[in-house]
Amino acid sequence: MSRHVTEKVEQLVAPILEKDGFELVEVEYKKEGQNWFLRIFMDHEDKPIDLDDCSRISEQVSDILDREDPIPGAYILEVSSPGAERPLKKQTDFERAIGKNVHVSTYEPIEGKKAFEGLLELVETDHISVNDNGHVIQIPRSKIAKARLAIVF
């Protein structure tokens, strides 16, 4: 059910964000404790997301969700930036991350490991290449469980 909800919300919300120059990064719908949360993560190519952006978009999203009512029952709506460790999901996310540090976890081990962190060197349709401490590892896209930007301290 949550996948159906996120897909429907994505269809409703993406045009609102795009109209204001924002990109829909991710929609998350999950239960935490007694409450359901609908989280909308957005980004902007030219500027950081601020509280005014989140508030304005939240009002617009809330209006369309009230009208279309794609979610049965009560939920808490949160609209925010994906943060510094932005998830990488779409092809364009990966392409923009070339030359940046990433963290990738896989469904199954590759060369004995399921977690990789390093410089994203190459993005192809079927795999990515991560330089993990001087060792370049090719990770098939089909085996990526999660990928995100990584902060290096």
CATH of the domain at 20: 3.30.300.70
**72 shares its domain with 96:** no
- Say whether both 63 and 116 belong to one domain: no
Listed as ranges, residues in the chain with pLDDT below 50 are none
Q: Are residues 63 and 99 in the same domain?
A: no
Whether 86 maps to a domain, the answer reads no
- Tell me: do 20 and 75 sit in the same domain: yes
Domain final residue pick, 80, 105, 134: 80
**What is the rounded distance in angstroms from the CA atom of residue 70 to the CA atom of residue 58?**
16
- Tokens representing 37 are 């949360």
Give the CATH number of the domain where residue 145 resides: 2.30.30.180
Cα separation, 42 vs 78, in Å, equals: 11
Residues 139 and 99 in one domain: yes
Same domain? For 73 and 50 the reply is: yes
Q: What is the pLDDT of residue 146?
A: 94
Does 105 share its domain with 132?
yes
The total number of structural domains that make up the chain: 2
Residues 54 and 111 placed together within one structural domain of the fold:
no
pTM for the model: 0.77
Q: Strand runs (DSSP E) across 33-124, as ranges?
A: 35-43, 76-80, 101-110, 113-123
Q: Tell me how far apart the alpha carbons of residues 142 and 134 are, in angstroms, rounded to a whole number.
A: 24
**Do residues 7 and 71 both lie within one domain?**
yes
Three-state secondary structure call for residue 41: strand
76 with 98, same domain: the answer is no
**17 domain residue, yes or no:** yes
Phi, psi of 4 (to 5 degrees): -60, -40
Range of the domain at 120: 91-149
* pLDDT of res. 1: 54
Residue linked to tokens 């978009």: 57
pLDDT score of 46? 84
pLDDT of residue 11: 94
Residue 113 lies in a domain: yes
What's the distance, CA 141 to chain centroid? 16
